Chain A
Amino acid sequence: MRPEAIAAMQPFLADVYANPSGSHRFAREARRAIDESRDAVAAVVGCKPGEVVFNGGGTEGDNTAIFGAVRGIQAGGGAAMAVCSAAEHHAVLHCVEHLAAHGTGLVVGTKGDGCVDALELADVLRRLSSEGTVPVVSVMAVNNEVGSITPIDEVAGIVRSTAPEAILHTDAVQAACWLDLAPITACVDILSLSSHKFGGPKGCGILFQRTGVDIEPLIFGGGQERDRRSGTHNVAGIVATAAALVATAEERANQTERIAALRDELVAGLVAIGGVRVTIPVQGSVPGIVHLCIEGIENEALLFLLDEAGLCASAASACASGAMEPSHVLAAMGVPRDLARGALRLSLGHTTRHSDVTSAIGIIGAAVDRLRAHTRS
């Protein structure tokens, strides 16, 4: 966690432990912290404070957007189809696939650059909109696995012209560190963020919900967050989330430039190993994610050697057992399964130093050489 976030949450774990919904002095102090946090978050996200909902993370935000929009429409009746792209995070994709199993969801293809297929999206929305209604379209701003940046303004243009009734949601979880959020917020109706992706605590998140956009809440109860998300406020988490987001936004321009340079050096060093394919060209991706497919390598084996050498990396999402699953993102992009077995994802952040990049290149090079030497012919 960012030190600013750790410091910000401390008082609310110890001294100011009150429930902000209470009416005594300590409650008011907690309430004030939440209100101030909401103002600070709104300034970074580029919205009104009343449009900020504090929740339990990106997955909750994504679920709220999809199911909330669908339930809002179904109350009015008519055939409704929720739409998302094939490379979405599971927090969106599994919602839409769940709906699809009941005939009320549809997944649109992704192109080799990791972005939604704009032509297919337009065709699908035009057709669905004429046959019934599209309650929600969800397209992520930055892909969590490969780092590709989707031009949300172009997606919004398509959605507004082909399915004007649709609520446009974007999962901006991976965007917060690297992109100015305000221009993204400006062209969507709902946007979800996850605190731990910008140095805040895990289990905390932010949902931007535009005024006038009506969705059903996912969680009912005490009516917190203007009835949009019930449940006692996680005061320390909210305060830390705001502190982390503010610090991230302040440093964003400098960090993006610094880390882009490190990323370029890392990519160059890894490509020099040979048989390494960069999944998304650097100009189309955020600087914090380097995704590669290494030929002739099984990433499960590679990750063990990297971990042993002190380099923590990942390859794809894991299932409940902890086993890595073949990446649905790479499959959607048309990367052959054999090549996808050699997928490696490295992330860089505000703590990454030049020496980390140099040692990562050395460790990965040595591990790849070792595994290739042992590969069955």
Chain B
Amino acid sequence: MKVLVAMSGGVDSSVAAALMQRGGHHVVGVTMRLWGGESDTGCCSVSDVDDARRVAQQLDIDHLVFNFSDDFHDKVVDPYVHAHATGVTPNPCIECNRSLKFSRLTERADALGFDAVVTGHHARLVRNAKGEMRVHRGGDAAKDQSYVVHMLAGRELERTLFPVGQMTKAQVRALAAEMGLRTAAKPDSQDVCFIPTTGGRETFLGKRIAFHPGRVVDTEGHDVGRVDAVELVTIGQRRGIGLYKTEAKRFVVDVDTASRTVIVGTEAELQRSGLALHSMVWAGGAPESGRFRVQCSAHGASLPCAVEVIDGARVQVTLDQPHRRIAPGQSAVLYDESDAYVVAGGLVSAASAWPASVGATA
């Protein structure tokens, strides 16, 4: 096979490239240049590209750099910024996988005659009894990344490979060290690549959208505080919500950027059992109602639930046990009942907003 390995300059993709080469494939490495602006997180930095190129040289494979910064800006950064203005909190890493790694790069690879795109994600691709490929959880439960690659479906599932998916992180590092790869001990990247560590999200968004001060009210509508920027308030948030007097634990249960109102409540008032999802992508193509598990953050636990299909793109999820409300824009991924593989994924709707579905109704 002729494969294109997406090399970030990290240890996982370094080992992925090495394993493909060991398997006798024709391997070409590529580093995507995504963020063209200022950053101090190191991601997309010259030194990361250097690491990727040096690993490629060590393996004696060709290494390319693709400049996708226009697409990254248009499809990831810009939507991320403007979503905040409407009180929606997207996961940019998932949007990057959706719009860049598993569409833009796959299309480019296709045009250039590659048989598959390879990444260093910790997820496994397994064919089921019907012969269909599914994304399964990675071999290292603590590092599982099936959540962030859940959008793989249809033809892309057949054209993607995760060579380190069944390995533990320790095994990946040990193998990298054994092969003498310079990235063997490189720390994992943690942060959103385009948000600077200094100043963070507030500074980044502040340069791009207007912040508006807002009222903070309790669930009965009484004024209990003020915030400087409703755009920076996230559902579930506990600190920095500008309460006039410190009360017992209060959480943000809803944000209405239109009326510039933040609603706070008790932990019980944050609980929801209903979750509306939109923009669903189904691994098998066809939507299905039934019993599943739903996961709403990269390393969060999955929760048992019932799913009812509204239409192909929208579902209503009912959790068996109420759970803290998930912010609109976050990704929710449905796994099969045994929690082994991805069935579908979508985005949390603002529609499941307080007070329409307020309260624990389990």
Q: A238-246, A269-277, A321-329: which one contacts chain B?
A: A321-329
- The verdict on A311 contacting chain B, using a C-beta distance below 8 Å, is no
CA distance A371 to B107 in the complex (A): 11
CB pair A323 B66 closer than 8 Å = yes
State whether the Cβ of B46 lies closer than 8 Å to any Cβ in chain A.
Answer: yes
Minimum C-beta distance from A72 to chain B (A): 34
Cβ distance B224 to chain A, nearest Cβ, rounded Å? 48
Question: Contact partner of A301 among B44, B45, B46, B108, CB < 8 A?
Answer: B108
| Contact (Cβ within 8 A) B107 A321 | no
Indicate with 1 or 0, residue by residue over B47-66, a CB within 8 angstroms of chain A CB atoms: 00100010000000000111
| Residue pair B49, A321 in contact (C-beta under 8 Å) | yes
Q: Are B49 and A374 in contact (CB under 8 A)?
A: no
Q: By CB atoms of chain B within 10 A, which of A320, A323, A325, A376 has the most?
A: A323
Q: B69 to chain A: closest CB distance in Å?
A: 8
Q: Is A265 an interface residue (CB 8 A)?
A: no
Interface residues on A, range: 10 to 19
Give the docked Cα–Cα distance between A321 and B108 (Å).
20
Q: Tell me which of A301, A305, A321 has the highest count of chain B C-beta atoms within 10 A of its own C-beta.
A: A321
Count how many pairs of residues, one from A and one from B, have CB atoms less than 8 Å apart in the complex: 42
**Residue of B33, B44, B111 ringed by the most chain A CB atoms within 10 A:** B111
Cβ of A370 within 8 Å of any chain B Cβ, yes or no, is yes
Contact with B along A192-213 (1 / 0, CB 8 A): 0000000000000000000000
Which B-chain residue is minimally distant from A303 (CB atoms)? B64
Bound Cα distance from A321 to B33, whole angstroms: 8
- Say yes or no: A301 contacts B67, CB within 8 Å: no
CB distance from A179 to the nearest CB of B (A): 33
Residue A17 is within 8 A (CB to CB) of chain B in the complex: no
Interchain CA distance A49-B119 in the complex, whole Å:
59
Shortest Cβ distance from B33 into A: residue? A323
Does A220 sit at the interface, judged by CB under 8 A?
A: no
CB distance from A271 to the nearest CB of B (A): 23
Complex partner residue of B111 from A301, A319, A320, A325, CB under 8 angstroms: A301
**Is there an interface contact between A374 and B111, defined as CB atoms closer than 8 Å?**
yes
> Which residues from chain B contact A321 at a C-beta distance below 8 Å?
31, 33, 44-46, 49, 65
For B46, the chain A residues whose CB sits under 8 A away are 320-321
Q: Please, how many angstroms separate the alpha-carbon atoms of A300 and B69 in the complex?
A: 13
Name which residue of chain B comes closest to A304, CB basis: B112
Cβ 8 A contact of B67, one of A320, A324, A374, A376: A324
Residues of A contacting B108 in the complex (Cβ-Cβ under 8 angstroms)? 298, 300-301
| B191 sits at the interface (CB 8 A) | no
Partner of B107, one of A320, A324, A370, A376: A376
Give chain A interface residues in 93-127, CB to chain B under 8 Å.
none
B110: CB under 8 A from chain A? Answer: yes
Chain B contact residues, majority secondary structure: mixed
How far is B69's CA from A325's CA once the two chains are assembled, in angstroms?
A: 10
Contact A305 B107 (CB under 8 A): no
Closest to B44 in A: A321
Smallest Cβ-Cβ distance to B107: which chain A residue: A376
Given the complex of chains A and B, what is the CA–CA distance between A334 and B113 in angstroms? 34
Residues of A within 8 A of B64 (CB): 304
Chain B residues within 8 Å of A324, by CB: 65, 67
If the complex has contacts A300-B67, A305-B112, are A322 and B49 also in contact, measured as CB distance less than 8 A?
yes
Min CB gap A34→B, angstroms: 37
Within 8 A of A (CB), among B20-62: 31, 33, 44-46, 49, 53
Q: What distance in Å separates the Cβ of B120 from its nearest Cβ neighbour in chain A?
A: 19
CA distance A277 to B84 in the complex (A): 42
The answer to whether A322 touches B53, judged by C-beta atoms less than 8 angstroms apart, is yes
Complex CA–CA separation, A15 to B45 (angstroms):
45
**B contact residues around A374 at 8 Å (CB):** 107, 110-111
Give B167 Cβ to nearest chain A Cβ, in Å.
28
Please measure, in the bound complex, the distance between the C-alpha atom of A374 and the C-alpha atom of B53, giving whole angstroms: 28
- Residues in B with CB closer than 8 Å to A325 are 67
Bound: A371/B108 CA distance, A: 9
- Tell me whether A301 and B33 are in contact (CB under 8 A): no
CB proximity to B under 8 Å, residues A359-377: 370-371, 374-376
Chain A's nearest CB lies how many Å from the CB of B116? 16
Q: Known: A321-B65, A323-B67, A376-B107. Contact between A301 and B112, CB under 8 A?
A: yes
| A305 proximity list for chain B (CB < 8 A) | 112-113
B48, closest chain A residue (CB): A321
Q: Bound state CA distance, A47 and B33, in angstroms?
A: 46
Q: Which chain B residues numbered 53 to 111 have a C-beta less than 8 Å away from chain A?
A: 53, 64-67, 69, 107-108, 110-111
Give chain B nearest CB distance to A315 CB in angstroms: 10
Given contacts A374-B110, A374-B111, contact A300 B66 (CB under 8 A): yes
With a cutoff of 8 Å between Cβ atoms, the chain A residues found around residue B67 in the complex are: 300, 323-325
Scoring B45, B53, B112, B113 by chain A CB atoms within 10 A of each residue's CB, the highest score goes to: B112
Report A-chain residues with C-beta under 8 Å of the C-beta of B111: 301, 370-371, 374-375
Could you jot down 7 A-B contacts, CB within 8 Å? Answer: A305-B112, A321-B33, A322-B53, A324-B67, A325-B67, A371-B111, A375-B111
Residues of A within 8 A of B (CB): 298, 300-301, 304-305, 318-325, 370-371, 374-376
Given contacts A298-B108, A300-B66, A371-B111, 9 further A-B contacts (CB under 8 A): A301-B108, A304-B64, A304-B112, A321-B65, A322-B49, A323-B33, A323-B67, A374-B110, A374-B111
| In the A-B complex, the 5 residue pairs with the closest CB atoms | A374-B111, A323-B33, A323-B67, A322-B65, A321-B49
